[in-house]
Amino acid sequence: MELKDLISQKLESNFPEAELEYSEYRGELNIKFNKKFVNSICKFLKQDSELEFLLCEDVTAVDWAKRKNRFTVVYHIFSLKHNFRLVLKADVDESDCSIDTVSSVWKTSDWQERETYDMYGIKFNNHPDLRRIYMPEEFEYYPLRKDFPLMGIPGSLPLPKK
């Protein structure tokens, strides 16, 4: 419990404008914030000597289909010092479908952000190499969006040349 208080206290004092929201489910602490602060919050959580979230386990997104802020980008980060997992979330709207990259903080998020871009079409600003990762570069759709049919779209994947 103490560590969770410490994290929220530190974030409150350093990022008063980030619209921080806390929730807890099955023992996991979720922190939601304004997407403008993602890079600075992640950098802070990694570099703070009392927290040291050195490992970024996962970057992904959730498509809520009919909500106003359609997507939520979710980061799972782990502190080896405290053996503690923290969930960070930032809402992204479809009209401005972009968020800052954290690949400068954790190198591993490079590919994870590429995967999120490939599957949901969320652009990561300042990403060094934002290409599709699983689907071919010419593919026009984003398969994990809820409006993409399970059957796929006929003709969307052309056969290879030759």
Partner 1 sequence: MDRLTKDDVHPKILQKLLEDTDLSIEDALENEMILNMGPQHPATHGVLRLLLRLDGETVVGCVPDVGYLHRGYEKMAENMSYYEFIPHTDRLDYISPMANNVAWVLAVEKLAGIEVPVRAQFIRMIVAELARIASHLVAIGSFAMDVGALTVFLWTLREREKILDIWDILCGARFTNSYTRIGGVANDAQPEALAKVKWFVDQLDDNLAECEKLLNTNRIFIERLDGIGVISKEDALSYGYTGPNLRASGVEFDLRRATPYLQYDKVDFRIPTFTEGDSLARYFVRADEVRESAKIVRQVLQLMTPGEIKSNLPKQVLPQKAEVYSKMEELIHDFMIVNFGINPPVGEVYHAIEGSKGELGFYLVSKGEGHPWKCKIRSPSFIHIQSLPHLVKGRMISDVVAIIGSIDPIMGEADK
Instruction: Tell me which residues touch partner 1 (CB under 8 A).
Output: 25-26, 28, 54-58, 60, 62-63, 74, 76, 80, 83, 85, 87, 106-112, 115, 119, 129, 131, 133-135, 137, 143-144, 148, 150
Strands 84-92 and 28-33: parallel
Spatial distance between the Cα atoms of 20 and 116, rounded to a whole number of angstroms: 23
Task: Compute and round to an integer the Cα radius of gyration of the chain.
Answer: 17
- At residue 113, the 3 state secondary structure works out as helix
Q: Which is nearer to partner 1, 55 or 97 (CB)?
A: 55
DSSP, residue by residue, 13-62: HH-TTS--EEEEETTEEEEEE-GGGHHHHHHHHHH-TTT---EEEEEEEE
Q: Which is nearer to partner 1, 36 or 143 (CB)?
A: 143
Residue 19: CB minimum distance to partner 1, A:
20
Residue 16: CB minimum distance to partner 1, A:
27
Q: Which is nearer to partner 1, 20 or 74 (CB)?
A: 74
Q: Which is nearer to partner 1, 20 or 55 (CB)?
A: 55
